[in-house]
Structure 1
Amino acid sequence: MPRMGLDEEMILSAAAELADRHGLDGVTLAALARQLNVRPPSLYNHIDGLPALRQQLAAYGLEQLHRAMLEASNRHSGKEAVLQAGMAYAAFVRQHPGVYEATLRATGMPAAGQSIVDLAVRLLADFELEERHVIHAVRGLRSLLHGFASLEQGGGFRMEIAPTESLRWILEAYLAGLAKA
């Protein structure tokens, strides 16, 4: 029988907090049970084990990343919409490093990940690229954002200029190249 007040949403939220604090490998059933003040076997009333929990965490992360990018880009169009979505991507990784790590290990998640791809395609539509080139542009954008965020997360940007300033400059250069493509 599930504990009163304990549900999948509460478990997922606690798992996300653990991941962001200790990394994805810090999300164990024992650590999660401690955080929720329950015994580890009690979690099985709500989840199908650690691999399933990590998949749920990955889907949650992709949904949250999509939401952040969508909200940031919603009031803009063209180049500025892409810039805002890109800045939101990097901010999400800064704020949720463990959850983002979960998204990278996700397998078989076409719906959750596809919404981000669809958003990127929509944001890049103003560049009027050939259909084939849209795929290249989306892959390039994702590579740029993931690479930047990963380097920043690993402490790779310790120079005097703020990383957000660099990211904006890099995105603008990328988009200028797309405009010429």
Structure 2
Amino acid sequence: SLALANAQMDLNKAYKNFFRDKSIGFPKFKSKKSNYNSYTTNNQNGTVYIKDEHIKLPKLKSMIKIKQHREFNGIIKSCTVSQASSGKYFISILVNCEIKKLPEVSKKIGIDMGLKEFAICSDGYREANPKYLTKSERRLVKLQRDLSRKKKGSNNRKKARLKSSKLHEKIV
């Protein structure tokens, strides 16, 4: 199958990198308890295609409903389906397309990124710094504290881990 062939190619690449440069380290095995699961499949003779907010993947009989975030032009090369620790599934599509050259612009502007204010432009425009990150980090600390107090293997711990991973996904 294509998924197994891709896994084999990834393993070969990892071994080549290891023998080329020892500082990279020996290839690591995936843990059974890993919260990040994914598989990659190639598009051969149109086995992967998108039609009306649905995607067709090889080995699956029915089409899967998706939320497509941006349109793309080009040929689909491969597709990676991954599950985040929050339980959500994501599809990353590798597309072969032409790169368009941007037009030359004569107007230039300088932007100073800061802590007090998010950005100050050379034309005088100032953007206030939203404090979303610090608020979210405080909430994450509380959720992780709650998680650490739950008994291992309990359903309440699973619920707390899910809450924590959902917030972590938002932050990252």
TM-score band by shorter chain is under 0.3
Higher RCO (CA 8 Å, separation ≥ 6 residues): 1
> Whose strand proportion is higher, 1 or 2?
2
Tell which structure's C-alpha radius of gyration is larger: 2
> Whose helix proportion is higher, 1 or 2?
1
